[in-house]
Structure 1
Amino acid sequence: MLHTVADETADLSPDGLLSAYEAHLQTVLDTVGVDTAVAETDLDRDTIEAVVDGDVAGLTLTEAAAIAALDDDAPDAEAIVLETRDHLLMGMTTAVLDVDAISANLDVDLTGQEVQQAIEGRIDMTLAELAAIQSVIEQRLEE
C-alpha cells in the first residue's frame, strides 16, 4: 500500500517517496495490465498510461488508491486512502508534529490549514503532496 513504501525505501526524501509510490503503482499495473486498470477503475486510459510512463506527481491519493487496490493482496481503494491518512495522523502524534510544523518544512506550497485539510480528506492530496508530508513525518520519526 502507499503508506508502507516508507518502510521499503531508505530514501525518505519527498523525491524518494514519490519514486517508491511510482514503483509500487507501476508494479500493480504491470501485473494487471492497462486495459484491466481502465476497465476496473474510474480512471481514463491517459491517466493510467501516464502512471506507466512514470508521471505520478499530480495523481491524487484517491486515484493512486484505485490503482493500488487492483492488487489482489490489497484492500479496496477507500481502505487504502483511510489507512494512508491514519498513518499520517499516527506519525504526527508519534513524532510530536502539528500541521504548522509540517507546513514549515514542506517543499510544496501548503499552509498548515491545507495540510490539515489534505490529511483529513477535505481537499484532494496529490502524491507529490503526500510524499512531502510523509517525508517530514518519517524523517522526524528517524531522529
Structure 2
Amino acid sequence: MFHEVVDGSGGPASIDGGEADQSDVEGGEEIEATALSAAFESMLIEAAAEVVRDGTGDGPSIDPAIIEAIDDGDAASLTVEEAVSVLAAADGRDADAMVAELRDHLLMGMATAVLDVDTIAASIDADLTGQEVQQVLEGRAAMTLDQLAEVMAVVETRKP
C-alpha cells in the first residue's frame, strides 16, 4: 500500500529502490513528495499491468479510464480511491479497508509528529486550507495521489 513505500516494505516501489529501513526516514531527514509520487506511480504501473494481464476475477471491475491514466503517466491526478482500487484488484484485497488503513497511517503519523492540519496545509504546495486537508484525510473530500504524496512527505519528515 502507499504508506509502505516510506518504510521500505513497498518492494521495488520504495522511495530508495526497496532497500530502505526505518532508520532511513527517522531523525528528520527530508522525504521528497516527488520521490513518493514516483514510487506511487511505479507501484500503480506494476499493479495495473497485473490487473490487465490477469483480469480482476470475481472482484469489482476497474474503470478502463483509470488504467489508461496510469499507462499515460497521469497517475498523480487519480484519487486515492481510484488508485487503491487498482492495488486492491491486483492483490485481491478490499479497497475500502486499504483506504481506511492508509488514512489511519496518516492520522497516526500526524499524532506521532505532533502535526495539525493547518501546519500541513502551510507546508505543502497543494492549494489546500487546513479545513480542506482535514476533509481529505477524513475521506469527506477526494484526495489525489499528488496531494497524498505531499501530505505524507510532511508527516514522515517531521516524525521524531
Equivalent residue in structure 2 for 1:75, among 90, 93, 97: 93
What 5-or-longer segments of structure 2 have no aligned partner?
8-13, 17-29
String of CA shifts for 1:32-71, please: whole Å, max 9, x gaps. Answer: 217826x954543232112022211110011011001022
Q: CA RMSD in A?
A: 2.0
CA contact (8 A) 1:2 1:80 kept: no
Q: What CA distance in whole angstroms lies between the structure 2 residues aligned with 1:20 and 1:45?
A: 22
Structure-1 separation of matches of 2:60 and 2:37: 22
Question: Which TM-score applies when normalising by structure 2?
Answer: 0.79
Greater shift, 63-72 or 110-119, is seen at 63-72
Q: 8 Å contact 2:80–2:142 — kept in the other structure?
A: yes
- Percent identity between the two aligned chains: 48
Match of 1:86 in 2: 104
Q: 2:122 aligns with which of 92, 104, 120?
A: 104
- Residue 143 of structure 2 corresponds to residue 137 of structure 1: no
- Residue 123 of structure 1 corresponds to which residue in structure 2? 141
**Distance in 2 of aligned mates of 1:42 and 1:122:** 24
Deviations 1:12-51 (A, max 9, x none): 21111111110111111122217826x9545432321120
Could you tell me which amino acid in structure 2 is paired with residue 69 of structure 1?
A: A
Alignment length (residue pairs):
140
Give the match for residue 114 of structure 1: 132
Amino acid at match of 1:21: F
The alignment partner of 1:125 has SS state of: coil
Is the contact made by 2:66 and 2:82 (CA closer than 8 Å) also made in structure 1?
no
TM-score (norm 1): 0.88
Partner of 1:65: 84
- Structure 1 residue corresponding to 2:15, chosen from 1, 6, 9: 9
Which residue of structure 2 lines up, in the alignment, with residue 48 of structure 1? 67
Distance of 2:81 and 2:6 partners within structure 1 = 19
Structure 1, gaps ≥5 residues long: none
Deviates more, 1:53-62 or 1:83-92: 53-62
Correspondent of 1:18 among 37, 51, 55: 37
Distance in 2 (alpha carbons) for counterparts of 1:71 and 1:25: 10
Contact map agreement 1:58 1:127 (CA 8 A) in 2: yes
